[in-house]
């Protein structure tokens, strides 16, 4: 196979593969209050809000008092008009607009927004445009309003899969236990009450994994806790992997609200202990800090029950993804789940995946060229198999789903 052929086959294949996006914050349109789509929502993304706050001297409290349309206009004017939209989050918006053929030259925010609204884009169209087969939602069983999605049966469960997000058990235990108690016959043992409730939630939502985000302190608290010993046993009984999103520190600047979370510490020796102590449990892991990536990848070679996934949040920048993806492949081969979108607004699927696929394409082409030079009999079938594994089947096999 020749170099040019490799490039064509990789790019054609990447454009065809139906993606499984294993971590998003999206909801189906039927969950009205939680379904986010459109330019106004896209410009209200907390990545852009953080950038707005640090690029301008805007009065934060005044900004917060605006409605979403007004906020979107401020973001557009400050970041896309008065300044050059060069950050990854800004470029993402431009990618979406370009892919929807919305011109921006000589147009103000209202004119652009009018064109955008005129498209009346549906989630189905966005999924199709981004080649997404299904996404995994983040479902918090301790947020009753959000969890009410499972009382309705009217949404596409093949397209929107569910996960059980358990951060509340760490961050607001009293609230969590008081919810769980309403659904358990157990009167005193809190661990049993929580497991009873999780079992009920499992039956109702059919999650494909459970998840929690942690820093070192919380991770150690979790490792020591009797409740978590029971949860890990329960997860094993249910065949559910636990997704660990490691190294986040919430509320680094509380006045920024959602945009104010940052990087915390994490000691990956604790992760290795967890994998050794619970060899039958499976762990999906991603780390927020660049500093932890090499050690995490080495751990990915040491534990069969550990699967590395995605470029989370501050890691999801092209300048970081390319070298780290190369390093992960050098150490692990293709035995990883290279990306998730973390999309909060449905339209973001368009840019989050197209930006990533561009990097994946160049990394894979470079690797395939090395193989050809070494007389490896590369074929279209092999390329197809590899890319399918990366964007879909590795996750399906680890999660044991179809």
The residue ranges that bind Zn ion (CB under 5 A) are: 342
Terminal Cα distance for the chain, rounded: 32
Binding partner of residue 162 among Zn ion, ligand FIX, none, CB under 5 to 8 Å per kind?
A: none
Q: What mask of x and - would describe binding to ligand FIX in positions 78 to 107, judged by CB under 6 A?
A: ------------------------------
Instruction: State in angstroms the smallest separation of the CB of 213 from ligand FIX.
Output: 4
- Residue 205: count of CB within 10 angstroms of its CB: 19
Near ligand FIX by CB under 6 A: residue from 146, 342, 347, 386: 342
Four-residue CA torsion sign, 2, 18, 97, 288: negative
DSSP H stretches of helix in 256-347: 268-277, 293-302, 318-332
Token code pair at residue 202: 């499992």
Residue with Cβ nearer ligand FIX (170 or 329)? 170
Instruction: State in angstroms the smallest separation of the CB of 339 from ligand FIX.
Output: 12
Query: Is 245 a residue that touches ligand FIX (CB under 6 A)?
Result: yes
**Nearest alpha carbon to residue 127 among 101, 94, 161:** 161
Binding partner of residue 346 among ligand FIX, Zn ion, none, CB under 5 to 8 Å per kind?
A: none
Do 205 and 139 contact (CB within 8 A), yes or no? yes
Please name the helix (run of DSSP H) or strand (run of DSSP E) that holds residue 16, with its range, or none: helix 3-16
Query: Is 51 a residue that touches ligand FIX (CB under 6 A)?
Result: no
Query: Is 313 a residue that touches ligand FIX (CB under 6 A)?
Result: yes
Residue with Cβ nearer Zn ion (116 or 283)? 283
- Residue 332: count of CB within 10 angstroms of its CB: 15
Q: What mask of x and - would describe binding to ligand FIX in positions 135 to 174, judged by CB under 6 A?
A: ---x------------------------------------
3-state class (DSSP) for residue 211: strand
DSSP H stretches of helix in 166-210: 167-171, 173-181, 190-205
Residue with Cβ nearer ligand FIX (168 or 362)? 168
Query: Is 344 a residue that touches ligand FIX (CB under 6 A)?
Result: yes
Chain residues in the site for ligand FIX (CB under 6 A)? 138, 213, 245, 258, 261, 313, 342, 344
């Amino acid at each position: 196979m020749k170099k040019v052929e490799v490039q064509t086959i990789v790019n054609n294949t990447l454009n065809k593969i139906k993606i499984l996006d294993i971590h998003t914050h999206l909801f189906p349109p039927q969950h009205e209050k939680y379904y986010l789509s459109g330019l106004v929502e896209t410009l209200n993304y907390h990545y852009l809000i953080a950038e707005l706050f640090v690029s301008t001297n805007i009065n934060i409290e005044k900004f917060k008092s605006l409605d979403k349309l007004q906020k979107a206009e401020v973001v557009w004017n400050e970041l896309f008009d008065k300044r050059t939209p060069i950050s990854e989050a800004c470029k993402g918006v431009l990618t979406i607009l370009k892919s929807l053929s919305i011109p921006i030259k000589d147009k103000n925010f209202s004119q652009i927004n009018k064109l955008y609204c005129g498209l009346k884009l549906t989630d189905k169209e966005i999924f199709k445009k981004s080649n997404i087969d299904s996404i995994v939602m983040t479902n918090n069983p301790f947020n009753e309003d959000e969890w009410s999605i499972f009382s309705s049966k009217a949404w596409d469960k093949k397209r929107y899969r569910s996960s059980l997000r358990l951060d509340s058990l760490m961050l607001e235990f009293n609230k969590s236990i008081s919810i769980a108690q309403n659904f358990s016959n157990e009167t005193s043992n809190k661990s049993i009450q929580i497991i009873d409730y999780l079992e009920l939630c499992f039956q109702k939502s059919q999650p494909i994994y459970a998840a929690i985000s942690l820093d070192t302190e919380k991770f150690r608290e979790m490792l020591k806790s009797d409740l978590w010993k029971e949860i890990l046993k329960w997860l094993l009984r249910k065949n559910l992997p636990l997704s660990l999103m490691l190294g986040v520190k919430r509320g680094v600047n509380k006045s920024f609200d959602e945009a104010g979370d940052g990087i915390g510490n994490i000691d990956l020796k604790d992760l290795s202990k967890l994998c050794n102590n619970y060899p039958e449990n499976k762990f999906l892991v991603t780390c927020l800090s660049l500093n932890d990536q090499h050690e995490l990848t080495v751990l990915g070679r040491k534990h069969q029950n550990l699967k590395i996934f995605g470029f989370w949040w501050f890691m999801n920048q092209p300048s970081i993804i390319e070298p780290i993806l190369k390093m992960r492949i050098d150490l692990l081969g293709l035995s990883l789940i290279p990306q998730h979108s973390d999309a909060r607004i449905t339209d973001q699927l368009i840019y989050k995946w197209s930006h990533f696929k561009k990097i994946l394409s160049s990394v894979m082409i470079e690797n395939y060229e090395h193989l050809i030079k070494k007389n490896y009999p590369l074929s279209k079938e092999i390329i197809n198999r590899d890319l399918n594994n990366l964007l879909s089947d590795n996750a399906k096999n680890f999660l044991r789903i179809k």
